[in-house]
Amino acid sequence: MGINLVKKANLRRLGGLTLLWLLGLGVLQALPADPRVLRLGLSRVQDTTLLTVILTQSVEARVSAVTAVSTPQLIIIFPNAVAAHLPLDLPGDQALVRQVRTLFTPGRKGVRIILDLIPGRPYVFWRQLRPGPGGMVQFVIGLNPETREESHPSPGLILTRRPRPPSSAPLAARKSSPVGDYGYKIAPRRLESEDFRELGRLAPGAAGVLHVLEKQGWKVTHQSESDRPGQRLIQKFVLTNPRYPILTVRFTHIAGSSAASPDINFITLATDNLTGSEAQRYREMCQWSTNQIKKHFEDIGDYYSDGLKPLRIILRRQSQAEALRNFEVFRQFLTAAVPQHPQLTDDLLAHLKEKVNQRLEGVQYTLSENPLVILNMEDFLFARVYFLGQVS
């Protein structure tokens, strides 16, 4: 009798613990997952530049304009969102946006999207949160050129109350645009000469090519900086020129740690902003997760051979055509960067005229060993020159 009572009590206790465990599990399952930033894209509709961010759910967003830099920026921060696979940068529309950059740590909260804007082009912006397909949410930032004449323009930041979605947007979306959103008018601000002096300080050996780039009208954008304990300081800059929307110049400085480990600087002239459906498709596929690849291809080998390789062959052909079309830019770049090897431009021209081999995705040539000059002809073509030395 007593033993049976003990067994019943133990069963009741076990049942109670099981119920509590199940209730706790239900509570954990009911807790919402962190909102995720899945993808983003930049597009142009009439006179409106649109940044569209796809999220799994509605999320807090902070939007701010920065003008105290050589290149104005519009920064969007999702402090409570996470991201796993996003492009580190996207080309801009070259109307208002020079480029789009993302900063995030996979699996950790905090996603920052930076629009590097083109100086001297005032704008207003608006924002919307729209329902998307499959239960997703679309966070949209729209930028329009500001054309109003100011009776007393002043430098710095000027607030305007004029959010206006593109006329092609649905009527409901246009009516729901929040009245409290602000646009910004940014006065022209020229610090390019100071930026080029900074690059010249980092890479004295590159003074000649930097002078040519500045004279041609290239503008400097400070892209990123990494300065972590135990690692070298790395500074990256991007230069763009509205006369050559397909081309970019990238400057990278890796600080030396000792006399035996000098500074490494390299300047790259590239066809990074190549447009077209193939280029866009290639950029998207390069960002695919393993699950996305499995949806379209049986194995990873097919993804590379049947998916990326045909696109890379097309992009190589298009990049060569763009480089030939802008050969004078490449010629002046190499002539100024490596004046001691005048034959490099002839070598470059010969490679650009090569017929694309259908069996190869691309090739890379060493045009010079001292200084090191590399011509890369894989997908987005580039010429890169290395400069070694200490910061003066």
In tens digits, the chain (392 residues) has pLDDT values of 555 544 445 545 555 555 445 455 454 444 457 889 998 999 888 788 999 999 998 888 888 888 766 788 999 999 889 987 888 888 988 889 999 999 988 878 899 999 999 888 888 888 888 887 778 889 999 998 876 443 333 333 333 333 444 444 443 333 333 333 333 333 333 345 667 888 888 888 999 999 999 999 998 876 666 655 566 778 888 999 989 999 999 999 888 866 567 889 999 999 989 888 999 999 899 888 888 898 899 888 899 888 998 998 999 999 999 999 999 999 999 999 999 999 999 999 999 999 888 777 778 999 999 899 999 998 899 999 999 875 43
What value does the CA radius of gyration of the chain take, rounded to a whole number of Å? 27
Cβ partners under 8 Å of residue 29, min gap 6: none
Contact 259, 307 (CB under 8 A): no
- Amino acid at residue number 234: I
CB atoms within 10 A of CB 224: 15
3-class DSSP assignment, residue 215: helix
Q: Of 234, 263, 266, nearest to 250 (Cα)?
A: 266
- The answer, as to whether pTM is greater than 0.75, is no
- Nearest alpha-carbon partner for 95 in 51, 47, 147, 166: 47
* Distance in angstroms between the alpha carbons of the first and the last residue of the chain: 94
CB 69 within 8 A of CB 98: no
Which H/E stretch holds residue 98?
strand 97-104
Closest CA relative to residue 319, chosen from 274, 358, 282:
274
